[in-house]
Chains A and B, each alone.
Chain A
């Protein structure tokens, strides 16, 4: 009889532990989803502002085409080409806003100040959102590597989380005015 009680007690403890771990993993997955949604929003915002600037006619024609092309590609990119397209947009932004006079030229155009503020905020927030996303991915991976999680398939059908790797270095002249 006592053996039976011990077995039942052990099973209950194991069950509680498994349920707790599954809950923990579930929370991590929803954190990744939220972080990914936030990253998508920031990337989209950045591409939209860049596209606006590319079509507004405030930049010289060559810079406009480069910026428009990169922003368009970033917005239209398929999931598997997204990281490359977004990195190319970062490079295009750095090339277009390589010098401070370019920024002054945009600021003098009507509505240019607002666009610049939006762009500075966007290029500052993309790296933030990406760090938070990749941090969540790392935490989830650490738990999913656990033996117990693999044996009992506690992750269910959730896909294995992937980090979002891209070049998100903002243009130096915009970085210094973000938030200021």
Chain B
């Protein structure tokens, strides 16, 4: 099958959606499909052979933060050329509501279009204003995928219609087979994520830390991620600061080894999550997971049976749960075992088969993807040349 995938965010900047697209493309190529990914990228960035650059993304203030987006005449022309050259059986657009490549492709293409909705943003004012413009583009999508039941609910509320739920994929065996590192073992708590992004929840964990350290004299915290380390530990009593170890940015291999080594993985995120891939990775590595009870997290952890949940932003509840887990090897082993079984449904073999099933469902009985000429004025009056 010839598959075209559209990535709305810059390939140069690492992010969840980009990683998902990269892994999906590699998985599909391994199965023998032809895959081309259209993504914004700087001209200098080295790209994998399956990625086609759609030009540089422009930083624009959008929706409360600066987003790097692609739009305008040049991008639209590149989208059309990519569609024309690729002659795809199906195209798969990610994040079609972001005013970037996804939306441009929706405008320019016709035929079987699959779209994945990753975020579950509350409806923004721009979206309401743009609704009449957005609707004709979005109604070309033949199949919608939401990454979680929570994302599906917001999608149905905001845009109407329905979607199938297919979670993000993880290479479970990559994490399950990683070698634990001795210096990261023994009473360790793990945290992976941006240090200076409050929504990732490190401040909540820092507030809980004095209680945890007081109850478990051997416990240590390992933090992997970018950000200001001094500022992060500023709230801790000075004698406890050296029990927090910062590892900085870690490679994929080290991330897997870290997750294999820790006794408890803590995800204290306070909001803005529609899936929670890190929990899936932690479960793959067999780490007992302790996470805040966000909707998306509760779903990934099978409502608390594959991982412990604590009340969101409640540092005392976090501390109590962490102390209980650190002191009870049997409970940790149980969590790890249930997590390892549960996580199989997020493995690429399952997720990839589901996504292919969607492709096959929409391509059955439909023509292949083509550029949509009906939007051209000249075609409307019968003046277009073939």
Contact in complex: A125, B140 (CB < 8 Å): no
Are B349 and A179 in contact, with the CB atoms below 8 A?
yes
What CA separation (Å) do A142 and B160 show in the bound complex?
10
Query: Knowing A16-B380, A135-B161 touch, does A38 contact B139 (C-beta < 8 A)?
Result: no
Q: Which residues of B contact A135 (CB under 8 A)?
A: 143-144, 161-163
Is B306 in the interface zone, CB < 8 Å from A? Answer: no
Measured CB to CB, the nearest residue on chain A to B110 is: A27
Task: Tell me whether A24 and B377 are in contact (CB under 8 A).
Answer: no
Asked if A97 is at the interface of the complex by the 8 Å CB criterion, the answer is no
Contact (A34, B350) CB under 8 Å given A42-B361, A125-B357, A135-B144: no
C-alpha spacing A139/B141, complex, angstroms: 10
Give the size range of A's interface with the partner. Answer: 20 to 34
B residues within 8 A CB of A134?
162
B353 in contact (CB, < 8 A): yes
Kindly state whether residue A41 has any CB partner on chain B within 8 Å: yes
Residue interface mask A130-150, B partner, CB < 8 A = 1: 011011101100110000000
- With both beta carbons as reference points, the residue of chain B lying nearest to A39 in the complex is identified as B361
- Measured between beta carbons, the chain B residues less than 8 angstroms from A129 are 361
Docked complex Cα distance between A131 and B162 (Å): 6
| Contact A139 B139, CB 8 Å, known A128-B357, A179-B354 | yes
Q: Which of B136, B362, B366, B380 contacts A24 (CB 8 A)?
A: B136
Q: Which A residues, 61 to 109, have Cβ-Cβ distances below 8 Å to chain B? A: none
Closest chain A residue to B352 by CB distance?
A179
Which B residue sits closest to A129, measured CB to CB? Answer: B361
- When distances are taken between beta carbons in the complex, the residues of chain B under 8 Å from A31 are 139-140, 142
What residues of chain A lie closer than 8 Å to B144, measured between beta carbons?
132, 135
Q: Provide the B94-138 mask, 1 if CB < 8 A to any CB of A, else 0.
A: 000000000000000010100000000000000000000001100
A173 at the interface (CB under 8 A from B): no
State which residues 34-73 of A face B: CB under 8 Å.
34-35, 37-38, 41-42
* Chain A residues with CB below 8 A from B143, complex form: 128, 132, 135
Question: In the complex the two chains form, what is the Cα distance from A4 to B76 in whole Å?
Answer: 37
- The residues of B that contact A35 with a CB separation of less than 8 Å are 142, 362
Most B Cβ at <10 Å: residue of A31, A42, A138, A178: A31
A111-125 vs B, CB cutoff 8 Å, 1 = contact: the mask equals 000000000010011
The complex places the Cα of A138 from the Cα of B365 at a distance, in Å, of: 20
User: What mask results when residues 292 to 335 of chain B are scored 1 for a CB within 8 Å of chain A, else 0?
Assistant: 00000000000000000000000000000000000000000000
Minimum distance in angstroms from B92 CB to a CB of chain A: 14
B357 & A121 in contact (Cβ 8 Å cutoff): yes
* Interface pairs A-B: 3 shortest CB-CB: A179-B353, A37-B365, A135-B161
Listed by A's residue number, 11 A-B pairs whose Cβ atoms lie within 8 Å are A24-B136, A27-B140, A34-B366, A124-B357, A128-B164, A132-B144, A132-B361, A178-B350, A178-B353, A179-B349, A179-B357
